[in-house]
Amino acid sequence: MASTPSITTTLRRLHPLPWLHSISPPSNLRRRFPLSTLSSTSPIDHTPLTHINTNNNNNSDNKKDNDRRNKNSDSFYPKRGQILELECESLAFKGKGVCKVAETGFVLMCDRALPGERFLGRVTRKKDTFAEVKKLKTITPHRDYVEAPCEYASHCGGCKTQNLLYEAQVRAKEQQVRELVIHVGRFSVKDPEFDMIMKSIVPCDIQYHYRNKMEFSFGPKKWVPAEMLEEHNDTDSYALGLHAPGFFDKVLNVDKCLLQSEPTNLVLAAVQDCWRNSELNLTPYDVHSHAGFLKHLMLRTGRNIETGVAEVMVNFVTSSYKPDLLKPLINKIKGIPEVVSIMNNVNTSVGNTSIGEEEYTLYGKPTIAETLRGLTFQISANSFFQTNTRQAEVLYKLIEECASLKGDGTEVVLDLFCGTGTIGLTLAKRVKHVYGYEVVDQAIADAHKNANLNGIYNATFIKGDLNKIDENFGSNFPKPDIVISDPNRPGMHMKLIRFLLKLRAQRIVYVSCNPATCARDLDYLCHGIPERNIEGAYRLRTIQPVDMFPHTPHIECVCLLELC
C-alpha cells in the first residue's frame, strides 16, 4: 500500500490568521519568519491527534485512518459551492468575519459576518490555508446587533459594520492592531512594557455625517442585489450612487448617504430629482462602451473661516466640456445656501478616475476653506485633505505629542508622503525647518499655497517618488531630528526603510492607514532583516490606534519610534 502523507504535516500548514498572507514578507525573507510561525497558536492546536497513525507498517490502522480522513475531508477542506452552517468568531483585517469548521478548525473568511453571528454560507473560493464564504442567511444575529439606520447598509460597500454596536466595532479594530503588532511586527506580549506600548484605540465621537468628501458615480443601469430583484422593476433605468462591492461597472443607486454632511445630502437629492429628465439630454458614462457624458458627482464640505458656516463644493466630472448641458443642474443646486462652488472636471480618458485633465469653475469660487490645528487650508476639487476633519484634529494632536518638539526653533523635521503639507505645516511654527516630499504634483502645489496662506516660510516641499529613491536622497536637506512618515496603504518601500535606518534620526513618527503594512515596517525598523544584513535601529515606544472612519474596516495608527 502506498504511504500516506502525514496528516500532522498537513495540519501544520493552516494558520489562524489567513488574512496575514496579504501582507506577507517577500519570498526571500520568509525563511526568517514563515507565516506558519506568525502566531503562537494554531487553529488546530487543540484538535485531538491521538488517533492519527502514520506508521506505514500497520496497514490496518492506515486504512482506518484513511477512511476517517475521507469521511471528514469535506468538513476539513470544504468544497467550492458547499453550504455550511458557521459561527463568526472575530473580525479580521479589512473587516472580514473569521469562522472555523467546528470539527477541525479550518478557517473560513466571510464578508459582512460579525462576531457571534450564526449563518449559512456558501464556499466561493478555496485556498490551501483558508476558504472564502458568501453569507446566504443569518440564523442567529451577532451578540452586539443594532438596527442599521441606512437602507443601503446591507449592500453598499462603504459601511460594512453599521449594524454592529459602535463599542464592539472599536474593540474589534483594537484587537486587529494588537494581533498584527504581535504576529507580523514580532513584538512580544511577554515584554513587560508591551501594555504600555499598545495603547487603547481612540474612538470617534461622531459616528455619522463625519465625511467631508464623497464621490458618487453615474451609471447606465441600476445594480440591484439578487435577493431584491423581485422588489425592483426599474433596474434598466440610470443610476447615481456608489459602486457595488467588487465591481467597477455596477452602480447602486443612492439617494442619501449618512456619512456625508446634511447640506451635501440636499445637493445629492436635488441632482437625483432632475438629472434623468429626458429633456435635459444628460447621459451617464458607460465604462464598457465609453459613451455618455456624466461620470462622477463629487461633493466636498468645508467651513467659512469667518462665520464657521458649512460651505459645499460640487464637482461634476464629465467626459467632455459642455457647460450648457450642466446649466439645469447648476440652477437647481445653486439655490442651496451652503453651495458656494460648482466645478467641472473634464476627464476624456476611458479610466474611472475623477481627476480631470481640465478644470472649470461654473459657479462661485474655485476653492473652499477648512481649518485644522489653528491653520487655514484652501481645498480645491482635487486636493487631498483628511476626510474626517474633526477626527483629524485628534490625529494631528497625537502626532504632535509623539514628535515631542522642544519648541525652541532648533529642530528639523522631514515630512515623508507629505500630501498637501498639513502635518508638517501644523508643526512648522515650533521648528527650524520642515522638508516635505510627495510624488503628486498638485499636492506639492497645494502645500506651497497652504504655507503662504498661513504665513509659514520655513517649509520646503519637494516633488519626489519615495519608492524610487537612490543613494543621493538626503543630500539636499540637513539631517532631521524628527521624521514623520505617512505612507499610503502599501507602506514604505525597502529602499526608504534602508535610508531611515542609515539616517538614524532621533525619532520617527509613523502614521499609518494600514495596520498590516505598518506592523511589517515596524518590524524592519526595530528588528532589522538579518538575511539582508540589515540591523534594526529603533525601539517602539507607543502605537496608538485611532478610529477615523466609524462603520468601516479602516484603522489609523500613530506610532512613535526612538533611536536605540
Radius of gyration for the alpha carbons in the chain, expressed in angstroms and rounded: 26
What are the beta bridge partners of residue 375?
Answer: 372
Residues annotated as part of the active site: 513
pLDDT for the residue 46: 30
Neighbouring C-beta atoms of residue 379, cutoff 10 Å: 23
Return mean pLDDT, the chain: 85
pLDDT at 76: 65
339-346 and 358-364 beta bridge pairing:
antiparallel
378 close to 442: Cβ distance less than 8 angstroms: no
d(CA 319, CA 286): 10
Cell digits of residue 471:
543613494
pLDDT of residue 442: 86
- Determine the Cα–Cα distance for residues 210 and 259; give it in Å rounded to an integer: 6
Q: State which CATH number among 3.80.10.10, 2.40.50.140, 3.40.50.1820, 3.40.47.10 fits the domain covering 9-143.
A: 2.40.50.140
Residue 425: the pLDDT is 97
Q: Which residues are annotated as a binding site?
A: 386, 417, 438, 486
Amino acid at position 287, single letter? V
Q: How many Cα atoms are found within 13 Å in the side-chain-facing hemisphere of 29?
A: 15
Q: Are 214 and 260 in contact (CB under 8 A)?
A: yes
DSSP 99-133: EE-TTT--EEEETT--TT-EEEEEEEEE-SSEEEE
| CB within 8 Å of 231: residues ≥ 6 apart | none
pLDDT digits 0-9 by tens, 433-463: 999 999 988 899 999 999 999 999 999 999 9
What is the C-alpha to C-alpha distance for residues 508 and 490, in angstroms, rounded to an integer? 18
Look at residues 120, 390, 115 and name the one whose alpha carbon lies nearest to residue 261: 390
- 3-state SS class at 314: strand
Q: Provide the pLDDT for residue 236.
A: 64
C-alpha cell at 421: 503639507
Query: Taking the CB of residue 276, how many other CB atoms lie within 10 A of it?
Result: 14
pLDDT < 50: residue spans in the chain: 1-16, 18-19, 21-24, 26-75
* CATH superfamily placement of domain 195-205+388-563: Vaccinia Virus protein VP39 (3.40.50.150)
pLDDT of residue 51: 28
CB–CB of 16/39 below 8 Å? yes
CATH 3.40.1380.20 fits 213-372, yes or no: no
- How crowded is the C-beta side of 330, counted as CA atoms within 13 Å? 17
Identify the bridge partners of residue 117 per DSSP, sorted by sequence position: none
pTM: 0.83
CA angle 155, 161, 167 (to 5 degrees): 160
Q: Hey, what long-range contacts does 5-9 have (CB within 8 A, 24 or more apart)?
A: 6/54, 7/49, 7/52, 7/54, 7/65, 7/69, 8/49, 8/52, 8/54
Alpha-carbon gap, residue 284 to 221, rounded angstroms: 9
What are 180's strand-pairing partners?
Answer: none
Contact 105, 89 (CB under 8 A): no
Query: Measuring CA to CA, how many Å separate 193 from each of 170, 185, 187, 539, 559?
Result: 23, 15, 10, 11, 15
pLDDT of residue 312: 98
Q: Is there a contact between 527 and 478 (Cβ–Cβ < 8 Å)?
A: no
The pLDDT assigned to 229 comes to 63
Strands 482-485 and 459-463, sheet pairing: unpaired
Q: Could you identify the residue written with the cell 434598466?
A: 236
Residue 506: the pLDDT is: 97
Instruction: Return d(Cα 291, Cα 348) in angstroms, integer.
Output: 11
pLDDT of residue 247: 81
Phi, psi of 125 (to 5 degrees): -155, 135
Residue 439, judged by CB atoms within 10 A of its CB (0-12, 13-18, 19+), counts as: middle
Cβ atoms of residues 65 and 53 within 8 Å: yes
Predicted pLDDT of residue 352 = 76
Return d(Cα 109, Cα 95) in angstroms, integer: 10
- Longest CA–CA span in the chain (Å) reads 87
Measuring CA to CA, which residue among 145, 118, 120 is closest to residue 133?
120
Q: What is the pLDDT of residue 6?
A: 34
| Interacting residues of 50 by C-beta distance below 8 A, sequence separation 6+ | none
Q: Do 342 and 363 meet the contact criterion of CB atoms below 8 Å apart?
A: yes
Domain ranges of the chain: 9-143, 195-205+388-563, 213-372
Q: Do domains 9-143 and 213-372 have the same CATH topology?
A: yes
